[in-house]
């Protein structure tokens, strides 16, 4: 079995049989000529159902996460919606994190509830709370993020897999923050991995996409049926961009982790910062679990300002090298105010985030420049 870096560089990419092209061709076509009715070449008939560039990405995703099958989507939320409607029926129940991406919460609270899917929020860091939120016989999934967005909470995946499986439910893990380079949830007992490939997998802030990876081939087939029936598929060029990002995933994650650790240390020493949330800090309540199930602590750092919401907004507005923008996982560093930006849709809900919180996606620049920028932004805010 090759190592992860070898897989990341080669997965889904046998040189093109027709030409030897080393980079997978972008099959920018909606349809495929048939050699007589039903005479498909390589199984391709129409690009919603399957497209060779997307197939290359899907094979790579499955290999990276150690799954039996994968499906790619036009966004992370499209992946989530397709999974939920394929694997749950109206009347079912899902335990969701009490700290999760705001758009995921909005999908559960404002879209799928009308379809008949109920949810209960529980802290992913508290196995007993998740167990208590399960409704035996009705709960179809325990859905977790680890680390969570934006509070960087850590879920104990083997413990949650046991709790979910004892209740006959699936464990679904959104692995967007860690990426498969740092954490492979299927190896810890998860049934499905969710990705916003927009983030670390794509890695360059130039594409929106999503992915699902399955431990069980039958569930994979069921979701792939829905992928075609519901149609939220990525185009060939977007599939290619994610595939290209994957080639450098390990290198980028290594640098993200080093830079984020240094930024977290710097922030921990600043008196204007009341709390730094980073699983690599030994003070983080999930540090030991993260150290067990992750090979690095990631590039996301959140922190709270002692002086409150105005100071948090001022730091975001004052940063120069950190770009004020939603999203994460690209090579360039981003800063944002979750309460008014990525998590505005959770306002007034059990998932509401603290207003004094700032979230950083620490990029791959020179770390001294990143720290200098934060120093000047903090000085300007006090």
Q: What is the binding site for ligand PLP (CB under 6 A)?
A: 75-77, 101, 103-104, 145, 149, 174, 176-177, 196, 198, 208, 210
User: CB 74 → ligand PLP: shortest distance, Å?
Assistant: 8
Specify the residue, 139 or 146, whose C-beta has the smaller distance to ligand PLP. Answer: 146
User: CB 241 → ligand PLP: shortest distance, Å?
Assistant: 13
Specify the residue, 77 or 253, whose C-beta has the smaller distance to ligand PLP. Answer: 77
**Residue 163 in contact with residue 133, Cβ under 8 Å?**
no
User: CB 119 → ligand PLP: shortest distance, Å?
Assistant: 16
Catalytic: which of 27, 54, 98, 101?
101
Catalytic: which of 81, 156, 174, 356?
174
User: CB 236 → ligand PLP: shortest distance, Å?
Assistant: 18
Q: Is 174 assigned a catalytic role?
A: yes
* CA 283 remoteness from chain centre: 24
Q: Is 269 assigned a catalytic role?
A: no
User: CB 149 → ligand PLP: shortest distance, Å?
Assistant: 4
Specify the residue, 241 or 381, whose C-beta has the smaller distance to ligand PLP. Answer: 241
Specify the residue, 139 or 196, whose C-beta has the smaller distance to ligand PLP. Answer: 196
Output the residue with the shortest Cβ distance to ligand PLP. 76
Distance CA 180, CA 67 (A): 11
Catalytic: which of 54, 106, 199, 304?
199
- Residue 308 token pair: 């409150």
List b or e across 6-27, with b for residues whose CB sees 16 or more CB atoms inside 10 angstroms: ebbeebbbeeeeeeeeeebebb
Specify the residue, 104 or 227, whose C-beta has the smaller distance to ligand PLP. Answer: 104
Specify the residue, 105 or 322, whose C-beta has the smaller distance to ligand PLP. Answer: 105
Catalytic: which of 16, 48, 221, 244?
48
User: CB 298 → ligand PLP: shortest distance, Å?
Assistant: 12
| CB proximity list for 291: less than 8 A, separation 6 or greater | none
Q: Is 200 assigned a catalytic role?
A: no
- Active-site positions read 48, 101, 174, 199
């Amino acid at each position: 079995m090759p190592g992860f870096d070898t897989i990341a560089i080669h997965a889904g990419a046998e040189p093109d049989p027709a030409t030897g092209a080393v980079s997978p061709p972008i099959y920018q076509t909606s349809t495929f000529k048939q050699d007589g009715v039903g005479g498909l070449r390589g199984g391709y008939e129409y690009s919603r159902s399957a497209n060779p560039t997307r197939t290359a990405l899907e094979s790579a995703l499955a290999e990276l996460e150690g799954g039996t099958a994968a499906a790619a989507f036009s966004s992370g939320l499209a992946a989530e919606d397709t999974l939920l409607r394929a694997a749950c029926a109206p009347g079912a129940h899902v335990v969701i994190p009490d700290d999760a991406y705001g758009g995921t919460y909005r999908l559960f609270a404002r879209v799928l509830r009308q379809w008949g899917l109920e949810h209960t929020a529980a802290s992913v860091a508290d196995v007993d709370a998740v167990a208590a939120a399960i409704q035996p016989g009705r709960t179809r999934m325990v859905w977790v993020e680890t680390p969570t967005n934006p509070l960087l909470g850590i879920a104990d995946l083997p413990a949650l897999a046991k709790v979910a499986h004892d209740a006959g439910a699936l464990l679904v893990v959104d692995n967007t923050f860690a990426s498969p380079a740092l954490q492979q949830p299927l190896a810890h007992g998860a049934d499905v991995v969710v990705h916003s490939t927009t983030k670390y997998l794509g890695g360059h802030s130039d594409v929106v996409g999503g992915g699902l990876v399955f431990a069980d081939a039958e569930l994979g087939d069921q979701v792939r049926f829905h992928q075609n029936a519901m149609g939220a598929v990525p185009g060939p060029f977007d599939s290619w961009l994610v595939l290209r990002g994957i080639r450098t995933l390990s290198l980028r994650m290594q640098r993200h982790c080093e830079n984020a650790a240094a930024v977290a240390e710097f922030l921990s020493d600043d008196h204007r910062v009341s709390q730094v949330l980073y699983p690599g800090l030994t003070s983080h309540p999930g540090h030991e679990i993260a150290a067990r199930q992750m090979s690095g602590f990631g590039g996301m750092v959140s922190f709270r300002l002692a002086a409150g919401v105005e100071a948090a907004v001022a730091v975001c507005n004052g940063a120069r090298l950190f770009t004020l923008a939603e999203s994460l996982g690209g090579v360039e560093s981003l800063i944002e105010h979750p309460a008014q930006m990525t998590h505005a849709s959770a306002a007034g809900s059990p998932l509401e985030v603290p207003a004094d919180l700032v979230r950083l996606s620490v990029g791959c620049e020179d770390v001294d420049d990143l720290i200098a920028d934060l120093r000047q932004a903090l000085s300007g805010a006090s």
